[in-house]
Amino acid sequence: MVAGGITSGSVVPFPGVQPSQVGFDRLELQRILDLYGRMVAAGLWRDYAMDFAREAASFSAFRRAAERPQARIEKRPSLRGKQGMWTLFGEAGQVLKRGHELSNVLSSLERKLLKVVED
């Protein structure tokens, strides 16, 4: 133990310093990449890109790399207390869904994977 109750080898954030960029935590990224994998398997998506900035992190999914993204999932923590920090944008940049929880925002994309099964 070192002074202040901190063990050697532990990472401690510097007091008063904000992170320089927004990112996805492990569970968020796992949920997004799981959906991406299922969309690739269904033949709907082929490529993706991630962007990490000071205000927001985004995940864009493409049918083809040369096109606009078919869907863009954005995490903007500054909107956490307002409309929610998660936003789903469509191909033309329109807001398709906003919410406080990632699962609710992704649900509209997951509906594309549902297929009607006849008896």
Spatial distance between the Cα atoms of 113 and 85, rounded to a whole number of angstroms: 25
**pTM: predicted TM-score of the whole model, two decimal places:** 0.75
Is 97 inside any structural domain? yes
Grouped pLDDT means (10 residues each) for the chain, 119 residues: 60 64 89 93 90 92 84 90 89 90 90 67
* DSSP 8-class letter at 34: H
Spatial distance between the Cα atoms of 60 and 79, rounded to a whole number of angstroms: 20
Spatial distance between the Cα atoms of 118 and 81, rounded to a whole number of angstroms: 44
Is 39 inside any structural domain? yes
**Total domain count for the chain?**
1
Domain region containing 36: 26-112
Backbone angles phi, psi at 93, to 5 degrees: 90, 5
Contacts of 70 (CB under 8 A, 6+ apart): 44, 45, 61, 62, 63, 90, 91
Is 117 inside any structural domain? no
